[in-house]
Structure 1
Amino acid sequence: MGHPRKALRTASIGAVSATLVAGTALGLAPAATAADASAVPGVRFVDIAGDGGTVLKANVVTPAGADGSRTYPVIVLPTSWAMPQVEYLAQAKKLADAGYVVVSYNSRGFWQSGGHIEVAGPPDIADASKVIDWALAHTPADPAKVGMAGVSYGAGISLLAAAQNKRIKAVVALSGWADLIDSIYSGRTQHLQAAGLLGGAGYLTGRPSPELQRILGDFVSSNLAKEQEMIEWGKKRSVVTHLDRLNANGAAVMLGNAWGDTIFPPNQYASFYEKLTGPKRLEFRPGDHATAEATGLLGLPNDTWTSAHRWFDHHLKGVDNGIDREQPVQLKSRSTGGYEGYPDWKSVGANERKIALGGSQRVWANVDSGANGGVVMLSNALDQFLKLPPVASIPLLPRPFAAVWQSERSGQVQRVRGTAKLHTTVTATKESGTLVAYLYDVGPLGLGKLVSNAPYTFHGKTPGQPFTVDLELFSTAYDVPAGHRLALVVDTVDPLYIEHNPTGAQLTFSSPPADPSYVSVPLRSE
């Protein structure tokens, strides 16, 4: 398993199998819940000409009794990756009942819409503008009150569209990305299962463009010669690249995501949120990709969608519902299920506990120690609904393949909030390599519950020459009970990621006196 391509061949079997199941479930579940969608009162199915005349399959829901004598705020909903056009019908009906015109459309390249999958490229953003044009021409939509929203892929398209189109006054972007590269290539490490799920679902339900096929092939095959091209491709599709235009346009932006999102991790959303200058709100909840808002797509009560409705009510209708006076950063703890409000992201985890990583530890690469981040879409959903995060027996982790440091037991609850950071010195026997850091909550019997993790890959290092690693773990909100320890574990293999460890490679983690190693854990101030 030392060569990344061999790792890919081995791991891809499981990833593609999971894709076939998950992709089918994602694609068909909303259709099943919609039952006979054509029988839903007030729903009209239409074809909209997108960019270049590409046909976009869409549905329109208008308020009951709308007769053209007045206009209503309009909300445009691009579908999620691999989802059919009925995805948002339950929410569209609720919004229409509340006085909105709602137009949902199948993103180009998927299902019955024409064109190819462009991954929120220029044609997708142009499509969003064309859909707004259509809504203003064919529905009682108010041109001064245009909003966009979406889950996952729809979230990314909505943010990018708001950066390009001044007509969009409010956006709700759920489980999306602000920085595509920092999402599936964080730590310069390919997120294998995430890419496998997206790629497989795309092939199952749509038509990937030739460009996407080439980029995806270079990505999963670790074609470093094409790395810069892949990065530039991702930057063009990242709203953080167009931040100045988004801020200039002044749209009110609400961001929502899950702590354990294995496709678009929360860090990149939090960083982006801090850079927004207009009205803004950030909400993080337990779960994995799109699981925090999933029940709302089925028409069930859902906190995320409740916030989304309140956001639109205030910023499109002018309703004084108090959302503008609440703390704009709202976090739901993985441990207690309670909400906490903060004035901004930097106030989250304002206190810091540094755990020294003393001594020197050497590990052999290419062997999974048993510490890992779980399975894409599954493990963090289990944490959300059953409070069952990935676990590992810390005393039994094989020390030849895992470096382990543990803190002293704490006499009080440690409320981890925000982004833990690893600082260490690494010496490698090869010029390339991958390491994965894990932060665990360790109970009296040595069982560790995963608090957070993150990968890090390096290339072009001089063998035997020490170098510094600074790594942000994925942000979280987790309470470590009194009497428990915190443990940092570092190994070199995780099924979530592609590893770049040559055969026979070893990594040594040290703590030079002039530059001590540590993990910084952010804690909520009481």
Structure 2
Amino acid sequence: MGLSRKALRTTAVGAVSATLIAGTALGLAPTAQAASSGVDFVDITGDGGTVLKANVVKPAGADGTHRYPLLVMPTSWGLPQIEYLAQAQKLADSGYVVVTYNVRGFWQSGGEIEVAGPPDIADASKVIDWALANTPADAQHIGMAGVSYGAGISLLAAAHDKRIKAVASLSGWANLIDSIYSGRTQHTQAAGLLYGAGTITGRPSAELQQVFQDFFASNLSKEQDMLNWGAKRSATTYLDQINAGGAAIMMANGWGDTIFPPNQYADFYEKLTGPKRLEFRPGDHATAELTGLFGLPNDVWTDTERWFDHYLKGDDNGINREQPVQLKSRSAGGYEGYPDWKSVGATQRKLALSGTTTIHTNVDSGADGGVVFLSSILDQLAQLPPVASIPLLPRYWAAVWQSEKYASAQQVRGTAKLHTTLTPTKESGTLVAYLYDVGPLGLGKLVSNAPYTFHGRTPGKPFGVDLELFSTAYDVPAGHRLALVVDTVDPLYIEHNPSGAQLTFSSPANDPSYVSIPLREQ
């Protein structure tokens, strides 16, 4: 079941190589400016005496007689401390003291990788302590920001350190388990990339190595341990503390993020009670922020600075009066504003999944979610998502339902939801649901997907399945139709289908099966 350990490591190392090349490039661009820009490279003592490699950028002419808002920025997973220098210099030029630091366990920082565990959160507070003691930072105006790993740490730090008044969490996570184990299914390529990058650029702790080992081995006896481990590292666990602290939270992500899918961000956003903002754009993990790390114009970083300018400096720049949910469709057009997440897909249209359909398992039908990073980047840059010929999908291994042709364009916004009745022939199994935009020639472009795994079911006994597909914004042209495809094998995920297993989907009269499509109000 799933990928062999050798294949998994090969996939991870290939992906990590590309990540490290990009990370090296990110570091080279701003380094040349360091000598003339007043960048100080320092050592900061973190939790337990661990040395954190950091850099400090201050406003020009800062002499200690004036205090400036402080921004603390932990690095992304696997990237060096110079990752944010281009943005740090811009922020310092606009009046911030900026401290960026390499998270423990990576590169030259000491310690081991704890995956946003308690030592990492304590480190963030230690960095704040150091900045207040050694720079002209204002203790009343402190923010944290980061991309990916730094985003997750920033959210968690806000729950534990009330000095933090504003956060920009970019391409991060609020729920770690929902990110890499959604639908009770291991996201193989995503976790493999993290594991490979952590091994190459850092020093994984013994606990982390055991978690990954149990994860890839599908060790169900350790599942609760993994859930507990993930909960300790998820901002959702500390929601009440974040709300009590009242920090202004901005979150931004890509629709196609294969590491931290958008659903978990949207769910968390809806439960925040303080000042908040949610932005979704086309792209994969951290690709929307990438050009900004080179110092180029970038919407994410522009809004990040505006967010801090308002909530740390008190600038009346209007960001607090804009619609707090800002989306950009994968298909075309500009930004769309909404008052909240539930207003995004206010209209629901159900596609009936009628009849009874049986599929066999263990063979990839040709319907796939793509390749981590590559597929969503192609979608972002060229609007080329993964495709499949819907008429040619073998019905022996794939179940297919299609809508009628739409007379007008359908603007899919938000989270499509699958409801069906499943009867397995084995006690465990995995299915993957795909929503496709199908053109006149039957070519389907992937709109969304999600995996679902079950264990401990009675063979031959039906049960209900409710599955949220990954949230998206996609415009289906007039004359096209939507198709729901379900199969059992996808390279993105570990599958749990015993040899020879079959899955039967039915639609009882008293509980009909459907996929609910969220649509923007026209």
Normalised to the residue count of structure 2, the TM-score between the two structures is 0.99
RMSD: 1.0
Please state how far the C-alpha of 1:42 moved relative to its aligned partner: 1.3
Tell me the distance in 2 between the aligned counterparts of 1:110 and 1:142: 29
State the match for 1:178 in structure 2.
174
State the match for 1:321 in structure 2.
317
State the match for 2:517 in structure 1.
521
Given that 1:23 and 1:197 are in contact with CA atoms closer than 8 Å, whether structure 2 keeps it comes out as no
Of residues 452, 466, 480 in structure 1, which corresponds to 2:476?
Answer: 480
State the match for 1:283 in structure 2.
279
Given that 2:13 and 2:193 are in contact with CA atoms closer than 8 Å, whether structure 1 keeps it comes out as no
Tell me the distance in 2 between the aligned counterparts of 1:208 and 1:11: 21
State the match for 2:395 in structure 1.
399
Consecutive unaligned residues of structure 2, counting only runs of 5 or more, are: none
The one-letter code sitting in structure 1 at the alignment partner of 2:172 is G
Please state how far the C-alpha of 1:13 moved relative to its aligned partner: 4.8
Query: What does 1:71-470 align with in structure 2 at a 5 Å threshold?
Result: 71-470=67-466
Tell me the distance in 1 between the aligned counterparts of 2:370 and 2:499: 24
Given that 1:61 and 1:103 are in contact with CA atoms closer than 8 Å, whether structure 2 keeps it comes out as yes
CA displacement, residues 158-182 of structure 1 (integer Å, 9 cap, x when unaligned):
0000000010000000000000000
Please state how far the C-alpha of 1:11 moved relative to its aligned partner: 4.4
The one-letter code sitting in structure 2 at the alignment partner of 1:248 is A
Tell me the distance in 2 between the aligned counterparts of 1:407 and 1:493: 24
Given that 1:184 and 1:195 are in contact with CA atoms closer than 8 Å, whether structure 2 keeps it comes out as yes
Please state how far the C-alpha of 1:336 moved relative to its aligned partner: 1.0
Given that 1:273 and 1:280 are in contact with CA atoms closer than 8 Å, whether structure 2 keeps it comes out as yes
Please state how far the C-alpha of 1:31 moved relative to its aligned partner: 1.7
State the match for 1:31 in structure 2.
27
Tell me the distance in 1 between the aligned counterparts of 2:12 and 2:152: 24
Paired residues, what number?
A: 522
CA displacement, residues 1-21 of structure 1 (integer Å, 9 cap, x when unaligned):
xx34xx333741542242342
Q: Match of 2:378, SS? A: helix
Query: 2:40 matched to 1:64?
Result: no
Go from structure 1 to structure 2 and tell me whether the alpha carbon gap of 1:37 and 1:124 turns closer, same or farther (over 3 Å shift). Answer: farther
Please state how far the C-alpha of 1:483 moved relative to its aligned partner: 0.4
Please state how far the C-alpha of 1:41 moved relative to its aligned partner: 1.2
Tell me the distance in 1 between the aligned counterparts of 2:19 and 2:302: 27
Please state how far the C-alpha of 1:494 moved relative to its aligned partner: 0.4
Tell me the distance in 1 between the aligned counterparts of 2:6 and 2:84: 36
Please state how far the C-alpha of 1:282 moved relative to its aligned partner: 0.2
Given that 1:56 and 1:114 are in contact with CA atoms closer than 8 Å, whether structure 2 keeps it comes out as yes
Given that 1:23 and 1:200 are in contact with CA atoms closer than 8 Å, whether structure 2 keeps it comes out as no
Please state how far the C-alpha of 1:64 moved relative to its aligned partner: 0.4
Given that 1:442 and 1:448 are in contact with CA atoms closer than 8 Å, whether structure 2 keeps it comes out as yes
Tell me the distance in 2 between the aligned counterparts of 1:305 and 1:20: 25
Q: Match of 1:117, SS? A: coil
Please state how far the C-alpha of 1:34 moved relative to its aligned partner: 2.5
CA displacement, residues 79-132 of structure 1 (integer Å, 9 cap, x when unaligned):
000000000000000000000000000000000000000000000000000000
Please state how far the C-alpha of 1:319 moved relative to its aligned partner: 0.1
Tell me the distance in 2 between the aligned counterparts of 1:23 and 1:343: 36
Consecutive unaligned residues of structure 1, counting only runs of 5 or more, are: none
State the match for 2:51 in structure 1.
55
Given that 1:451 and 1:478 are in contact with CA atoms closer than 8 Å, whether structure 2 keeps it comes out as yes
Q: Match of 1:373, SS? A: coil
CA displacement, residues 64-83 of structure 1 (integer Å, 9 cap, x when unaligned):
01111100001000000000
State the match for 1:21 in structure 2.
17
When structure 1 is superposed on structure 2, of 256-265 and 33-42 the one drifting more is: 33-42
Tell me the distance in 2 between the aligned counterparts of 1:259 and 1:20: 21
CA displacement, residues 291-312 of structure 1 (integer Å, 9 cap, x when unaligned):
0111100101000000000000
The one-letter code sitting in structure 2 at the alignment partner of 1:68 is G
Given that 1:11 and 1:495 are in contact with CA atoms closer than 8 Å, whether structure 2 keeps it comes out as no
